[in-house]
Structure 1
Amino acid sequence: MPLRIAIGGIHIESSTFSPHRSGTGDFEVTRGQALLDRYAWRDQPWARDVEWVPLVHARALPGGAVEPEAYDAWKAEIVEGLAAGRFDGMLLDIHGAMSVAGRRDAEGDLVTAVRGVLGPEPLVSAAMDLHGNVSHTLFAGCDLLTCYRTAPHVDVWETRERAARNLVEALRRGERPHKTLVHVPILLPGEMTSTRVEPAAGLYGRIPEIEARPGVIDAAVWIGFAWADEPRCSGAVVATGTDPDAAEQAARELARAFWEAREEFAFVAPTGSMDECLEAAIKDGARPYFISDSGDNPGAGGADDVTYALERMLARPEIRDGSVRAVFASLFDPQAVAEIAHLPVGSPVSVRAGGRVDTRDPGPVPLEGTLEAVADDPDGGRVASVRVGGLSVFLTSRRMQYRLLESYRRLGVDVAGVDVVTVKIGYLEPELFEAAAGWMLALTPGGVDQDLPRLPYANLTRPIFPLDRDFTPEGI
């Protein structure tokens, strides 16, 4: 009989420090053929004689904790699909840093439910983001785990293919893989662990050689997710193999390398307060100069409507009088968009924007200016640009991250002609990184504050670096 493998999962990164709640409207949900069509590798020789059975997959931009009703409904749908037939295994397509409001270890709960209906014999393979978390429960419920090896993530689909291929090959061998988990008590933001630079570049660069060793199937390093306050949040290394000693050695070796490099991790760009970044950007001759409004980055779970960085831009006389051309991308505010988007372009507008979800100071900011552009964006929904002096303020109907240059062009902006671009992001995604002549990362307030000691952690497993420094971890 051909192998029969289910595919499904829930994929989101959730900040427990953000007041935003992620509901069904925030997710793109695929089922049936649409779900299967996501995976182009099904046409490859190793996958063709497998019956891939789509269950449900829900994916969202990072946000706040998921509403329990939404999570419960998708979990129930996955369980019902698994109960409807015989399966040799499951490909679990998840992020690994989902939080559900009022609960802990969401992915551990999900894999426990999957195991409850599959039983102990079928194999489960998880494909994850390297910013996910590997709890003991998740590890116990999976036979194979792998994650991205790049940040920014340019190997997302390669990782899912690897997870599926490892699963198929293990099923064909008829042997349950051996696996080793080593938690590394380090918790760092992604902006200090980009694989563009050392030490993360070297750490992840060791994986291909380790993976090629006899008896090793896969080796994976998780940075962990810094903006959730749960005991499972920490670095982790998992190695799987056909030889238990080889898997153990691989995991211990990578874990030691991760721990020994802990003091070398640094931000991937110069940092400062928003005012310090603006001062540097305006004085610097490099154009365009990007500033990351990192504390409210929706790509990590920020509410996307904190107005602190915008307020500081509007306080600069060079921006107000138009001698400095600037862009602020963006504020999530469907109410503000609805108030102005029906007006003719060029109309004078007066609107209060932002600060409706994350209400920290300064709250909603008054924009007195001109409606510069209106467009429909596949990510942001109805979007509008309000011009105030030399500043274009982008407003969106849905939370989005302005990581693609086409999104700027929809609102009439070519960043090559802009002096200063402030974008709610952490490390610059590839297109912005290539476009930037200068860049600083502003340590701004928000639900994904990069200054971790400012966050009110209460549930982490301690000690953990860098919140704690004078300790020696066990088992590494």
Structure 2
Amino acid sequence: MSRRYRIAVGGFLHETNTFVPGRATQGSFQSGGGYPGMCFGNDVLSSLDGVNCGLAGFIEAARTDHELIPLSWAVAVPSGPVTDEAFEYITGKIVDTLKFDCEIDAVYLDLHGAMVTESRDDGDGEILRRVRAAIGEDIPIVASLDLHANVSPLMFQCADGLLSYQTYPHIDMAETGRRCFAFLKEALARGRRPYKLFRQLPFLIPTVAQCTLLEPAKGIYDQLIEFERREGVSSLSFNPGFPAADVKDCRPSVTGYGWDASEVATVTDGLLKLIEANEGAFNFPLLSPDEAVLDAMAHASPGGPVVIADTQDNPGGGSTSDTMGMLRALLRHNVENAAIGLIADPSAAETAHRSGVGATLKIALGGRGGFPGDEPLEGEFLVEALSQGEVKMSGGLYGYGTGQLGKSACLRIGGVQVAVSSVVSQMADQQMFRFVGIEPKERAVVVVKSTIHFRANFDTISTRTIVATAPGGMIADCSRLPWKNLPPDVRTMPMGKKLSERAIWT
């Protein structure tokens, strides 16, 4: 009979874009940004049913045969840095629980891997460092990471296993939690740490080119999975990274674990060489808002909508989800039967609720992020539908959990329906249109504030997908960013110049 282990479990996730204003406060983590809000203790075990996240998957796999000691659940929508107050509060809760309960056998943490705080460039590394200090060197720590993690040497040093998602869109977040449990269970049974290797790459990969449904990422991950099946190899991760964090470890990486040191070295270095050989293929074509709209109009068909990804205003990359560039382009070209969402504008949503369905509002919508080339859109909007903001998700990124978007509305201007919410959340589920009465599969053109995640749910209805670069906080061309802390030998785009070779390097 296998031993019953006591495993401390928790999650603390934030993807930080250091090039945008704003902060992730305690309030940001309390709201959850489409995920369950911040909680501690036993509430952690009951709040994540049906949610697609690493912690939910780990709990599902482990809770029947093992005792789980819940630590935390805290996630906020990507933004500028996490405030020191929020970081110290949540990390303090995790560490205090670990110090109080000294009889645990292992720790599992659901982390992002690209957290930056007001005072620390490596938030995830600091979490792992403090956890290691609290429990000592003998108790294993395993963490799941986002595919976009900027893995640091400190993270690698403090954890016995870092296992990352293998899909983008991230449909395997819960599955990664289950993989973490299997990895940890084997390590506990063997009674020793696995061999491990960590490698970093010298160029940045824009997020729009990281989709695992498309080449070159698809082929690289197919090979990764083949490497992972080798005898003596337990886990292999490729993290393309989050290229909007001005920190020294912002870059892609490869991490390998297993019980045969030679095999771990072979597959880790083999994967590294494969990625290097495909560097040039990570460049991706981008269209202006007008080019994207004209392309969509030319390819519109009765079979389903053309979907335009408003990639630079993706709140999943730290933008505000309220820029007006794509909406202006739709109106400029008189597009009919179109929809766009989510536009995060609590003031507009409140005005719509106060005025009621059928009212015409004269308002200035969105455009409050202060991004160059963007401003609020003044116009007359018809209130077509209202919602209190509860959304039952239908799979893909969010799984089948329930999101809370606050007071929301469908506003019409010209031939465009606009899904407006009070809470910032990435448009990655068709239900995030339907909850305000918009049926996306019946529209000719649908604009989503997302880069890749929408594909897990929208590819089932789209006839064509286009990527557009309207104003926003998630710049698609990494070479345009004003880097200060990135090492000078890192190339800011695939096959591009090193940072030290750019005229704007400071």
Q: Tell me what 1:284 maps to.
A: 299
One-letter code aligned to 2:298: K
Q: Tell me what 2:483 maps to.
A: 457
Q: Tell me what 2:19 maps to.
A: 17
One-letter code aligned to 1:78: I
- Pairing partner for 2:225 from 168, 188, 208: 208
Q: Note closer, same or farther for the CA distance 1:433–1:406 as it changes in structure 2 (3 Å cut).
A: same
How do 1:243-262 and structure 2 match up within 5 A? 243-262=260-279
Answer yes or no: is 1:410 the counterpart of 2:435. yes
Structure 2: where are the runs of 5+ without partners?
A: 30-36, 49-55, 391-403, 499-506
TM-fit CA distance, 1:466: 4.7
- Pairing partner for 2:38 from 17, 21, 29: 29
CA contact (8 A) 1:231 1:460 kept: yes
Q: Tell me what 2:455 maps to.
A: 429
Answer yes or no: is 1:394 the counterpart of 2:433. no
Q: Tell me what 2:76 maps to.
A: 60
**CA shift digits 1:155-210 (9 cap, x unpaired):** 11110111122112101211111110011123112220211122211111122322
Q: Tell me what 1:75 maps to.
A: 91
Q: Distance in 2 between matches of 1:219 and 1:120?
A: 23
Q: Distance in 2 between matches of 1:153 and 1:123?
A: 26
Q: Note closer, same or farther for the CA distance 1:352–1:471 as it changes in structure 2 (3 Å cut).
A: closer
**CA shift digits 1:100-126 (9 cap, x unpaired):** 124211111111111111111111101
Q: Note closer, same or farther for the CA distance 1:236–1:437 as it changes in structure 2 (3 Å cut).
A: same
Greater alpha carbon shift after TM alignment, 215-224 vs 298-307: 298-307
Q: Note closer, same or farther for the CA distance 1:120–1:431 as it changes in structure 2 (3 Å cut).
A: same
One-letter code aligned to 1:445: P
TM-fit CA distance, 1:468: 7.3
Q: Note closer, same or farther for the CA distance 1:49–1:370 as it changes in structure 2 (3 Å cut).
A: closer
One-letter code aligned to 2:382: T
Greater alpha carbon shift after TM alignment, 217-226 vs 100-109: 100-109
DSSP 3-state at the match of 1:275: helix
Q: Distance in 2 between matches of 1:448 and 1:96?
A: 18
How do 1:63-462 and structure 2 match up within 5 A? 63-86=79-102, 87-267=104-284, 271-286=286-301, 287-316=304-333, 318-319=334-335, 324-378=336-390, 379-427=404-452, 428-462=454-488
**CA shift digits 1:396-454 (9 cap, x unpaired):** 10002222112212222112322221111112332212211122100222211112222
**CA shift digits 1:300-327 (9 cap, x unpaired):** 22121222222333323x23xxxx2221
CA contact (8 A) 2:385 2:410 kept: yes
Q: Distance in 1 between matches of 2:291 and 2:376?
A: 23
One-letter code aligned to 1:331: I
Q: Distance in 1 between matches of 2:363 and 2:323?
A: 16
Greater alpha carbon shift after TM alignment, 196-205 vs 371-380: 371-380
TM-score (norm 1): 0.92
Q: Distance in 1 between matches of 2:387 and 2:99?
A: 45
- The percent identity for this pair of structures is 31
CA contact (8 A) 1:306 1:358 kept: no
- Pairing partner for 2:6 from 4, 7, 10: 4
Structure 1: where are the runs of 5+ without partners?
A: none
TM-fit CA distance, 1:252: 0.9
The count of residues paired between Structure 1 and Structure 2 equals 464
TM-fit CA distance, 1:212: 2.3
DSSP 3-state at the match of 1:271: coil
TM-score (norm 2): 0.87
One-letter code aligned to 1:391: V
One-letter code aligned to 1:279: L
Q: Note closer, same or farther for the CA distance 1:64–1:386 as it changes in structure 2 (3 Å cut).
A: same
One-letter code aligned to 1:13: E
Q: Distance in 2 between matches of 1:67 and 1:41?
A: 28
DSSP 3-state at the match of 1:134: coil
TM-fit CA distance, 1:41: 5.5
